[in-house]
Each structure stands twice: as structure tokens, then as C-alpha cells.
Amino acid sequence: MVNNIKKSSEKLSEFIYKETNRCVSCGLCVPHCPTYRLLASEADSPRGRIAMMSGVAQGKITLNKRFILHMDRCLTCRACESVCPNNVSYGQLIDHTRHLIVQSEHKKKSILRRFLERQLAFKPWCFNRMRGWFNFLQRKGLFLWLFKSGSFEKTGLIEQLAKLPPSSFPYVPEKNKSKTKPALWQTVYPAEGNKRGEVGLFLGCVARLTDVETLNASIFVLNRLGYTVHVPSSQVCCGAVHQHSGEPDIAFELSRQNESAFTGLDAIIATASGCGVQLNENSQSLSPVVDISKFLNMAGGWEAVNISPLPYKVAVHEPCTLRNMLKDHAYPYQLIERIPDIQMIPLAGNDQCCGAAGTYFMDQTELARKLRDAKITAVMEDDAIRYLVTSNVGCAMHITTGLHGMADKVEVMHPVTLLARQMGLQ
């Protein structure tokens, strides 16, 4: 059911009031909330936020900067929702509240940020055009120089651009290899051997620059298993950033455009669990949206695939979107288990958010880094961990940034990337 259609302030308040009334203030959600654990503040717990939402909806609490601060600190990880005995729709509550805040005009994004978020969301092909220059600037260390200059010390985005490994280029099947690195993906990647079906690959937006390796690996593995992969050029951003920042009208537009881009397919494959949630919860498409790990585990054709052994320890990070919303967190483990000799463990603290949370790492930099520190500590406490796999591009970028300088010890990647390497992807 599509739940992000723009509503009037009155209808928003009515929904918020009715849904908050379903909360019985039992407090079972409180210990599961990352911000409550960090700040020990009732106002930064789900129960506290729900009480404040109700107060604003009834006009008993003023919608002011202090109220907005506590709403902004929410990661939308929905750990609270997954343990709520009364099934309160906290995700919808926080999204509707942020929409109410935007309508109240008490909070405004900068003109530049609004322009970039809208332009890049509807024209993600711009990321493709940036690829060559982006790769060049990374290799020359310009982003790292900017970060070290101190001018951008507190800017999470510059830190990530400075510390991420150089970006890759779109996948080209072995038979089509050339010396020229392509800026764009092919619109169709034909299946190898017996064809089992046709699927669409959702590219996302930022992932086109920073997570090309995962997208390439997905095409490679799907083709090997007999699936033709379609990569429509008309697809756009999933809209999650807009949905969770109080702009559901933009998210709705993006959702409709994606639906028209992907038609007549067995499934739409999402490699980022955050995008998968947004596409699942806001799509009316006839094609199911499926996380890549889940789809591959259900697919046939594995008996004809050769997978090389990998005698190393791999830690599995479970993104909040995969764990709390899609409920698909078991599938990455099952996928990695296909690699012979692998030693696999869940990363300690998987029930807590890493702090990436869409644009949270930029908007709440200090809290995001504290949450990430717990993940870094968990990795560094086990000297045997060689790889850390995670199923969401935002989490991967955030954790990779925290592990910068430790690349010789731990490499961060998507589960499908590790599998594809063992299947022969260079």
C-alpha cells in the first residue's frame, strides 16, 4: 500500500494522533533504541518521541526547534517497531511527523541541498557522467586533502569521499571486453547457458558511484545462474531520502517513475536493503522487489557453478533495513555458506544501528560516529576477521570510513561481491 501521498497538516495530525494512541507506553522498545542507549534521554526514545508527537498533533506541545531536534535524532532504524507488542507503525509515524515539520516551515534545507537532492534523484545518470572524474580525484587524493585541511572536518560526506576506495566501472561480460572502460551499464545482460528467467537490477543513485562492485557482482552471478538482467536507463532514485526527510510527494513521483521503468519482469533485484524497503513499501508494481541475497538463495542452477574455497573468517553485519523491515537478514549467511571453507560469524551488536541511516551520518555526525565506533570495536576485537560483509551501501560506506587505514586487516563488501570473486569475477 502506498503511504507517502502528500497530506494536509490536518490529516497528518489526525493520523499521528490516532496511531500514537495505540502506544501503551510499556517501554519494551526503549532498550532497543540506539539514541536512547547513547543519550539516556526519554525524549530520545521511541516512547518519548511518540508522546511528543501526540502532544503536537493535539496542539498541547509547540512544534519548535527542541521538538524537531528529538525527531531529527531518530535514525528510523525501526528496531522499536520490530519489538512493539501492539504493532505501532512507528516508521509511518516518524515519516508523517517529519512531513508535518516540513509543512510548518520551521525547518528548511539549504537551497543547494534541495537542488542537489532533487536533481540527482531524478537524474541519477549524472553519477554515471561523473565516474571518470570521481575516480581520478579519488586516486589523486584530492578528497583526502580537503578532509585533512580541516575545513570539512565535521562533514560526514567529505570524510566518506576521502576514505572510500577508488570507484569502479560498469560490468562488461568477458566476451565483450575492450580496453575502454564504460561509463554506463548495458541495458540488457543476456543469461549464460539455460535461461531461467528475466530480472531487473535496481541501480539506486549514490551506489552508481560508490558501490559499482556490488552491482557488477550481481549481474555476474545472476547471468551465471541463467538470468537475463535488465538495467533500464529510465530508473531513478528509490526516494528513501525524501520519504524520511518529510518530502513524500517527491518520493511518490520517484516511485511511479521506477514502476514505469521496470515492467514485465520476474523480479526487481535490489542490492541495497534500504532501497529494497522503500521500493517494497511504496510500489504498486506487479513485479516483486527482492533483495539480491534472498533471490539468489531461492534461485536454481547452483549445481553447475564452481566456487573456489576461502579459508578466512567473515563477519556478517545486518543492516537495520534488512533485519527490522524486510526480515531477510538470514539470507546473506546462507549465501556466504556456499563458499567452501568459509568461517562465518555475526558481527557483535547486530541489533543496533551502525549510524549511517541514509543522510543521518551527515546531519547527526557526532551520534553517527559514536554508533559506528561500536561496530569498529567489534571488528577490531577479533584479529581473525578478514572480511566484513553488509547488504546496504550506506552501511558499507559508513563502516569502511571508520576502518580507513586498516584495509590490510579487514575489507568491507556486499555478500554477493565476495561470492562473485570466488566464482571468478575479476
Domain boundaries, the chain: 9-104, 306-422
306-422 fold: Rossmann fold (3.40.50)
Tell whether domain 9-104 is in CATH 1.10.1760.20: no
Can you give the pTM of this predicted structure? 0.90
- List, in order, residues 6 or more apart from 251 with CB less than 8 Å away: 4, 239, 240, 242, 243, 278, 282
Check residue 171 and give its pLDDT. 76
Q: What angle, 0 to 180 degrees and rounded to 10, lies between the N-to-C axes of helices 111-122 and 248-261? A: 20
Tell me how many degrees the CA angle 204-209-212 measures, rounded to the nearest 5.
80
Q: Are 215 and 169 in contact (CB under 8 A)?
A: no
φ/ψ region of 172 (left if φ > 0, alpha if ψ in -120 to 50, else beta) reads beta
CA distance 53 to 40: 19
Picking from 313, 318, 312, the residue whose alpha carbon sits closest to that of residue 332 is 318
Helix (H), strand (E), coil (C) string for the chain: CCCCCCCCHHHHHHHHHHHHCCCCCCCCCHHHCHHHHHHCCHHHCHHHHHHHHHHHHCCCCCCCHHHHHHHHCCCCCCHHHHHCCCCCCHHHHHHHHHHHHHHHCCCCCCHHHHHHHHHHHHCCHHHHHHHHHHHHHHHCCHHHHHHHCCCCCCCHHHHHHHHCCCCCCCCCCHHHCCCCCCCCCCCEECCCCCCCEEEEEECCCCHHHHCHHHHHHHHHHHHHCCEEEECCCCCCCCCHHHHCCCCHHHHHHHHHHHHHHCCCCCEEEECCHHHHHHHHHCCCCCCCEEEHHHHHHHCCCHHHCCCCCCCCEEEECCCHHHHHHCCCCCHHHHHHCCCCCCEEEECCCCCCCCCCCCCHHHHCHHHHHHHHHHHHHHHHCCCCEEEEECCCHHHHHHHHHHCCCCCCCCEEECHHHHHHHHCCCC
CA-to-CA separations, 74 to 56, 367, 370, 376, 424, in angstroms, rounded: 17, 10, 14, 21, 42
| Order of strands, sheet of 313-316, starting from the edge strand that comes earlier in the sequence | 343-346, 313-316, 385-389, 411-413
CA distance 169 to 135: 9
Check residue 149 and give its pLDDT. 64
Residue 60 exposure: Cα atoms within 13 Å on the Cβ side: 7
State the greatest distance between any 2 C-alpha atoms of the chain, in Å, as a whole number. 67
The C-alpha cell at 85 is 507488542
Low-confidence ranges of the chain (pLDDT < 50): 1-5
- List, in order, residues 6 or more apart from 304 with CB less than 8 Å away: 193
pLDDT digits (tens, 9 = 90+) for 283-300: 777 789 999 999 999 998
